Amino acid sequence: MTNQATTYRMTTLGCRTNHAEQREMEAVLEARGLRSVHGSEPAALEVVHTCSVTARAAAKSRQAIRRAARRHDTARPKVIVTGCFVGTDEATATQLAGEQGPGTAIGHASSDGLTMIERFASEVDHWLGETPPPDRSERPTREPLTLPIIELPTRPAHHARAEIRIQDGCDAHCTFCIIPTLRPTLRSKTIPDVVTEARRLVELGHREIVLSGIFIGAYGHPTALRRRQVPATSPTLPDLLDAVAQVDGLERLRISSMEPMDVTDELLDAMVANAEVVVPHLHLPLQSGSDRVLHRMNRQYTVAAYLDMIDRLNESLLTDGLPAAITTDIICGFPGETDEDFQDTVAIARRVGYLHMHVFPFSPRSGTAAARWRDRFVAPGVIRDRVQALIELETDPDEGLAVRYRRQLVGRQVRTIIEQPDHDRPGRWLGRCDHYEQLSVAGELQRGQMVTVQVDRLDGSDTLATITEQTRSLPLLARRTPALEIDP
């Protein structure tokens, strides 16, 4: 198969970091002449990038591997399974990948010091017949904590937004989370590499970049544990923000989910200094509004510290009386959570005024400390009631948290990137404004346009706006539909 262009299909499950890793693996494949296929078109290579953060995600990963291995009745594709599921059950991942033909499993953890993407590239080269089998004893010549770029992307933009993985790994060991077992080594991309990648993405047609990672606040650090961190001698996240914001043609820069105590005064200063590009929105997981529960979760903050951070954030990012948009994650029914603990969470949610809350029922993940505390498990019916109460707190059509925030947008002019037609409202387009709210915009528009709109009114769960200024146009190719499932 040496030097022979062939086809591949990519199936990705999980978080936005997995999404960014998908793009990195696609860049590896396309640099070697492979072409992406979708639908029923046969593929010579099936890549399944897996998730294992919950038992349900692991089950979905197993199903996706089986589908990939059995997709074709005649020619059996090569199957490469990558990602977190390999870290939790490499034997099963390997067995499923090779069930019908040749298969390989590649996880994040390794003894050779190479990253998953490096080992993926090596495996693809071997499959194409261009190299001997990968030498797993190889040691990288770069700095051990560096997250390298293997190939730059080449595919023209199909949508306005693109993720850049700036950091990988976590060693914080929250008691409900399996990730430190799956991605134990912390690595960061250098600022020049991130800027190079951002420039390439903008050249390809992307106008919004999301900086993503497993523990973004540990960028430039070898540990996510603040008690062990020393003053950074390498560039920090604010330094990175300053550099990427200067990329010509970049319209919008967003930071993905980050830990609350990583919102430092220096980071807020960098966001304010680059406000023409950096959006006033942050996703800051709360998980619980009870100090007792946060302690059992092994979170690195208290409720008082979280609220102090929110106050500093709102003071810094307030724009003409409009506070920053804050979204969050909350776990309901963590082992030992009482009604009083839950009411503390409700009170904090009201105090912060989240635009959106990702509410999760506690799900014990095998291999974590919390999964062993069965004597403290909360009754499933109680968990369901608490989840529903938080959902109603956000979505109540009259006084829900989301409506309260959205009302503050009415009458304002905001920047919006147009993303797709509004199929529920013919003649309108959907786009997301800087404050992360999705708007339904009237006008003759196209995907990728950056426009200034006036927010007219709320109509149920929709926020309606009218175009006032068309600032830039970004022609995008017809939107493809990749096999991608993204969790918040």
**pLDDT at position 485, please?**
39
CA 115 to chain centre: 19
Name residue, tokens 């999760």.
360
Closest to 172 (Cα-Cα) out of 233, 125, 222, 207: 222
Gap between the Cα atoms of 318 and 75, Å rounded: 59
Selected residue with higher pLDDT from 479 and 330: 330
Residue 158 is predicted with a pLDDT of 82
What is the per-residue pLDDT for 1? 42
Q: Is residue 28's pLDDT more than 60?
A: yes
Bridge partners for 209 per DSSP:
162, 253
As a whole-number percent, the residues of the chain with pLDDT over 90 amount to 79
Residue whose structure tokens are 């106008």? 207
Average pLDDT, the chain: 90
Alpha helices, DSSP H, located in 396-448: 401-407
134, pLDDT greater than 90: no
Lowest mean pLDDT among 22-31, 110-119, 159-168: 110-119
pLDDT value, residue 231: 66
Q: Model pTM?
A: 0.91
pLDDT level of residue 484 (50, 70, 90 thresholds):
very low
The residue with greater pLDDT, 289 or 71, is 289
Please list the alpha-helical segments (H only) found in 318-425.
Answer: 339-352, 380-395, 401-407
Domains by residue range for the chain, with CATH: 7-142 (3.40.50.12160), 157-270 (3.30.750.210), 280-408 (3.30.750.200), 409-472 (2.40.50.140)
Q: What is the pLDDT of residue 140?
A: 67
Note the pLDDT of residue 129. Answer: 87
Checking if the pLDDT of 150 tops 70, the result is: yes
Q: What is the pLDDT of residues 176-231, one digit of tens each?
A: 999 999 999 999 999 999 999 999 999 999 999 999 999 999 999 999 998 887 76
Which residue, 330, 355, 216, is CA-closest to 280?
355
Residue length of the chain: 488
Confidence at 39, pLDDT banded by 50, 70, 90: confident
What single-letter DSSP state applies at residue 129? Answer: T
Which one, of 397, 465, 395, 455, lies nearest residue 425 by Cα? 465
Query: Measuring CA to CA, how many Å separate 430 from each of 39, 439, 475?
Result: 25, 6, 16
State residue 292's pLDDT score. 98
- pLDDT score, position 165: 97
